[in-house]
Structure 1
């Protein structure tokens, strides 16, 4: 690590990153949410991510490594490898994202969970809002 800079010496503590909604009064529709889902294979996961970002429904989609999902389906225990998807968007865009994901996804009942974001970097949250603004597609 390099020598201390003026901003990290005692008495010059830099301000903490904005943990709020990015400053200013924002409508709840501008709140950032994270959606979780999965895809049955990497090729489809990439296609879903590409479409959602290109259509400005998600600012970013992260694809995780394949993992085993265990669940009951129609009375039988299933165990399949799936690619996790983590999508960032606004609360206002979440319904359209969910609808589009349903069109792209082969499962009868794809997993879709919407999780609130309680804070983060103001510049990142603003970027998500900008990238998912309706009419950008």
Structure 2
């Protein structure tokens, strides 16, 4: 089992908090960090768009990612939400073990 960082964005701080809380409560993520505000410039519906967004990251494992992604897709307000998994290639072993422990379906 390997650990992942999952980068996501939301349309507001409230939405990011709601989704992050749900992910931790369901043990799909050990922890989420929320970055309160950023400005996004992107191509959508045939034009350049510019909006305020909230970025957030979740720490999880590869075996929990599919369930995490499904939960975010169901809860998210965007038609095409950003959900990008990045492998953790190294880190504090105790922290990486903690991610695994906190995302077990039974604790």
The structure with the largest strand share of the pair is 2
- Name the structure 2 match of 1:105: 76
Aligned length, in residue pairs:
107
Q: Residues 39-50 of structure 1: matches in 2 within 5 Å? A: 39-50=10-21
Pairwise CA distance, 1:123: 0.7
Q: Structure 2: state its 5+ residue gaps.
A: none
Give the SS at the match of 1:118.
coil
- Name the structure 1 match of 2:106: 135
Give the SS at the match of 2:63.
coil
- Name the structure 2 match of 1:72: 43
RMSD (CA atoms)? 0.9
Give the SS at the match of 1:125.
helix
Q: Which has the larger radius of gyration?
A: 1
Q: Structure 1: state its 5+ residue gaps.
A: 1-29
The structure with the largest helix share of the pair is 2
- Name the structure 1 match of 2:24: 53
Calculate the TM-score normalised by the size of structure 2.
0.96
Give the SS at the match of 1:57.
coil
**CA shift digits 1:96-124 (9 cap, x unpaired):** 00000001100010001110100111110
Pairwise CA distance, 1:94: 0.6
Pairwise CA distance, 1:65: 2.5
